[in-house]
């Protein structure tokens, strides 16, 4: 069911004779280039079932971006730059920076429409090692680490909702237990059905926007009328000195921007699933250029609303600003409602991240970077689409036909990849040490963002004639590269130890790369050679 002529079907064309897709990158899917992504050797693949639409894309991006950040920690921005006015400027800078990154990624995604995002782009542009190292870091640390943070924050807000928002100390294990329950739910939903996962995303996206619009309206009403259920006078906005106390220290601005960037992070989310879009060339840029301005505007408005209702001191000293906001205006009920809203928002972000992270794992499995079971659809270790000669295990084949139904779509998902991603996230939730994780996230994450966007510029030079369904202004990637390089350099000097850990972790990936690639080439030989399981063809290849 992929009759749409504009689809780039890498999976159907084993060795495309011409650029029938109208895209200079058509041969990418062939095993001759970097690997086997798209199941070039046959078998079932997700990319054959292009289900994602513009709306789903919007749900995936907005769903992940609006998570915990805007509801919990504007304090990190405020305290660093010193004044409400400067804080709002930081939010604009961080938002625009995220937007330039997202626009650059949209160009890459539209011209290289494969699952896995930067894994595919870096492999094509800077060489396969860089694509592997991205995957190595992203699958093992970045994705599950950030999901764990979101899960724990979700747990915290749910517990707050249950035992009273004002509670000072909450046993971290209770929060973690709740986080794990949410995580299991999300993992199960995503393993069960692609459509269920994306529907849930779409719904939660609307909830998030409603929540932020609600906060804004309440803030404005309060500012105009001084309204408050609790009876305390509400005219905080007059009390703020908007620019007094603004710092001139560049490194504090940098830290504040970092904090803002966490709240905007997730703009790369659709890029991991480009291969499943019906019309990526059209929809990817459309998703980005609606999502980013909407998110930036709603974040600014929410911040203004917080300032309208709460004193600067309160905002700067809390990590649950939205709950404070609800409590100040509507009393305990307000605090309860907002706790639930924030945990729902985190749940949505978790869902969104599970959906896309598992596709990265899946692409890595297909590409041979990770064991092939992770590149499978459905339950078990056997691909239902492969010929029976390769089916080794009767049981897993049975399991498959029972549990992975191509028609209904039930369990027609990268189940193994989803489980791996879920298991890693569980591990981070259990051992999770926030501070460490967030710094690692910043340094490693922005290194790869930087490299990928730099790759866009390189690709423009190297392949000027590549068909690009969407082309951003060249200033966009340049701005992103300059600012992110600046931020990275600050972080490197401020946190040399964490930087070393990141570098060490990346280096460990290099031997793994050679081991995996060796293994993959062996498998390729075997499959193409047909009979020679352990065979002489492999040796012949070395002899040549």
Residues in contact with ligand ARG by CB under 6 A are: 64-65, 67-69, 146-147, 150, 262-263, 265-266, 349, 353
How is residue 73 annotated by DSSP? -
Least separation in angstroms between residue 76's CB and ligand ARG is 12
Least separation in angstroms between residue 345's CB and ligand ARG is 8
> Quick one: tokens of 139?
């699958």
Least separation in angstroms between residue 14's CB and ligand ARG is 33
- Mapped onto helix, strand or coil, the DSSP state of residue 212 is helix
Place of tokens 């894309």: 57
The residue of the chain with the least Cβ separation from ligand ARG equals: 67
Least separation in angstroms between residue 441's CB and ligand ARG is 8
Give the integer Cα–Cα distance in Å for 415 and 9.
22
Least separation in angstroms between residue 92's CB and ligand ARG is 16
How is residue 277 annotated by DSSP? B
Give the integer Cα–Cα distance in Å for 290 and 65.
13
Least separation in angstroms between residue 163's CB and ligand ARG is 23
Least separation in angstroms between residue 260's CB and ligand ARG is 10
Per residue, the 3-state secondary structure of 155-219, as one string, reads HHHHHHHHHCCCCCCCCHHHHHHHHHHHHHHHHHHHHHCHHHHHHHHHHHHHHHHHHHHHHHHHH
Give the integer Cα–Cα distance in Å for 377 and 385.
9
CA-nearest of 183, 25, 204, 27 to 112 is 25
3-state helix, strand, coil in the chain (%, to 5): 70, 0, 30
Least separation in angstroms between residue 335's CB and ligand ARG is 20
- Contact call for residues 114 and 123 (beta carbons, < 8 A): no
Nearer to ligand ARG, 113 or 442 (CB): 442
Nearer to ligand ARG, 120 or 349 (CB): 349
Nearer to ligand ARG, 11 or 119 (CB): 119
Nearer to ligand ARG, 189 or 295 (CB): 295
> Quick one: tokens of 56?
């789903």
Nearer to ligand ARG, 161 or 263 (CB): 263
Nearer to ligand ARG, 76 or 123 (CB): 76
How is residue 142 annotated by DSSP? I
Nearer to ligand ARG, 272 or 369 (CB): 272
Integer Rg of the chain from CA: 24
Nearer to ligand ARG, 21 or 322 (CB): 322
- Contact call for residues 244 and 83 (beta carbons, < 8 A): yes
């Amino acid at each position: 069911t992929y009759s749409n002529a504009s689809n780039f079907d890498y999976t159907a064309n084993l060795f495309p004779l011409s650029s029938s897709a109208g895209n200079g990158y058509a041969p990418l899917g062939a095993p001759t280039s970097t690997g086997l992504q798209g199941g070039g050797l046959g078998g079932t693949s997700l990319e054959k079932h292009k289900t994602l639409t513009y709306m789903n894309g919007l749900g995936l991006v907005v769903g992940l971006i609006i998570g915990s950040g805007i509801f919990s920690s504007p304090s990190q921005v405020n305290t660093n730059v010193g004044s409400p006015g400067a804080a709002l400027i930081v939010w604009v800078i961080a938002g625009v920076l995220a937007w330039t990154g997202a626009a650059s990624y949209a160009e890459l995604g539209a011209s290289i429409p494969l699952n896995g995002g930067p894994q595919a782009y870096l492999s094509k542009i800077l060489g396969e090692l860089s694509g592997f190292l991205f995957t190595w870091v992203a699958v093992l640390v970045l994705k599950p680490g950030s999901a764990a943070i979101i899960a724990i924050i979700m747990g915290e807000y749910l517990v707050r909702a249950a035992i009273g928002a004002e509670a000072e100390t909450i046993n971290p294990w209770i929060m973690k237990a709740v986080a794990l329950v949410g995580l299991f739910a999300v993992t199960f939903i995503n393993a069960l059905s692609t459509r269920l996962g994306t529907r849930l995303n779409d719904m939660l996206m609307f909830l998030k926007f409603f929540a932020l619009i609600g906060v804004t309206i309440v803030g404005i009403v309060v500012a105009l009328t001084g309204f408050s259920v609790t009876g305390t006078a509400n005219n905080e906005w007059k009390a703020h000195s908007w620019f007094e106390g603004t710092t001139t220290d560049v490194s504090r601005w940098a830290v504040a921007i970092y904090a803002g960037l966490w709240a905007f992070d997730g703009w790369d989310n659709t890029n991991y699933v480009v291969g499943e879009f019906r019309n990526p060339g059209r929809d990817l840029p459309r998703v980005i250029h609606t999502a980013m301005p909407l998110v930036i505007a709603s974040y600014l408005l929410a911040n203004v609303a917080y300032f309208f209702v709460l004193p600067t001191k309160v905002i700067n000293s809390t990590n649950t600003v939205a709950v404070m906001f609800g409590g100040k205006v509507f009393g305990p009920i307000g605090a309860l409602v907002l706790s639930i809203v924030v945990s729902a928002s985190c749940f949505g972000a978790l869902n969104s991240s599970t959906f896309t992270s598992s596709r990265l794992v899946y692409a890595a499995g297909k590409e041979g970077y990770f064991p092939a079971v992770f590149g499978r659809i459905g339950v078990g270790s056997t691909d239902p689409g492969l010929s029976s000669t390769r089916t080794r295990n009767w049981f897993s084949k049975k399991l498959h036909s029972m549990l992975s139904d191509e028609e209904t779509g039930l369990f027609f998902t990268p189940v193994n990849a989803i489980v791996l991603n879920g298991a890693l996230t569980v591990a981070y939730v259990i051992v999770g040490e926030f501070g460490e994780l967030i710094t690692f996230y910043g340094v490693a994450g922005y290194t790869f963002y930087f490299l990928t966007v730099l790759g866009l510029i390189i690709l423009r030079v190297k392949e000027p004639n590549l068909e690009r369904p969407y082309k951003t202004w060249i200033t966009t990637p340049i701005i992103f590269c300059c600012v992110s390089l600046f931020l990275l350099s600050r972080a490197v000097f401020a946190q040399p130890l964490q930087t070393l850990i990141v570098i060490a972790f990346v280096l460990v990936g290099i031997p793994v790369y050679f081991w995996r690639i060796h293994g993959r080439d062996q498998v390729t030989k075997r499959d193409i050679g047909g009979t020679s399981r352990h065979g002489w063809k492999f040796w012949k290849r070395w002899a040549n």
